[in-house]
Amino acid sequence: MEHIINFKGADYYMTKILIPYYSSYGHIYTMVKAAAEGAESVEGVEVKIVRVEEFDAVKQAMSSQDAYVQAQEAQKDVPVATHDDLRWADGFVWGIPTRYGSMPAQLKQYIDSAGGLWMNGELEGKATGIVTSTGSIHGGQETTAITSLIPMLHFGMIYVGLPYGENTEQMTADGIGGSPYSASTVAGPDGSKQPDERDLIMARSLGKRVATVSKKLKA
Ligand SMILES: Cc1cc2nc3c(=O)[nH]c(=O)nc-3n(C[C@H](O)[C@H](O)[C@H](O)COP(=O)(O)O)c2cc1C
């Protein structure tokens, strides 16, 4: 109706959390699903998980590995991430496994190709958090989280960490994930470990925290 000029649909009032991730062997996929549960537990929040597309060269190189093939099969129905997904979102949880101590090129390519959004400031003021993983305990979880933060700050996002007060699970010397910088997990040098229940608790907590902050920023 023409005279209701300020009408906004119910969708407008939802806080939208996007979870873009890349996962070769499924550990990050498991972790981002836990982050999604946490985000969804906040009232008025809608969550979308999207996978960043694999490179053909990597597909070819890894096609002889059963663990890789099975993990890719399990993710085949997850929608592929687009730039419109970034526009849609009010906040983000990124699923970023470690490659040589930093972000995989697949995710960097997704972020680098979003330069138009950067130029228009379209992601400024949106909350963001990171879920990461490594093969070994000291393989670079903190470096991946901190170096991934740099492009996010260029986009003007507001970083959400994982404080010790809310996440006592990280106060341990056990070989699990979790730090003030990100929720995380250790896959094992051969990828045979699965996320510890405490890793999943921290991933849920981060998802909830990002959703809560995003909702407040939107309000
Ligand atoms: C090319 C490549 C580089 C990697 N670099 C590291 C590394 O620097 N440190 C480490 O601990 N693990 C490293 N890994 C292991 C991955 O981080 C591990 O397989 C991943 O975190 C598991 O998550 P996913 O199952 O979701 O892929 C590397 C794996 C590949 C394929």
Domains of the chain (ranges, CATH numbers)? 15-218 (3.40.50.360)
Cβ neighbours around 59 below 10 Å, total: 13
Atom index in ligand 1 nearest the CA of residue 25 equals: 25
- Position 10 scores a pLDDT of 66
- Position 13 scores a pLDDT of 86
> Which stretch of DSSP H or E encloses residue 29?
helix 27-40
Residue bearing the CA closest to ligand 1, atom 27: 24
180 Cα to the center of ligand 1, angstroms: 21
- Position 98 scores a pLDDT of 98
- Position 9 scores a pLDDT of 62
What residue ranges of the chain have pLDDT lower than 50? 1-4
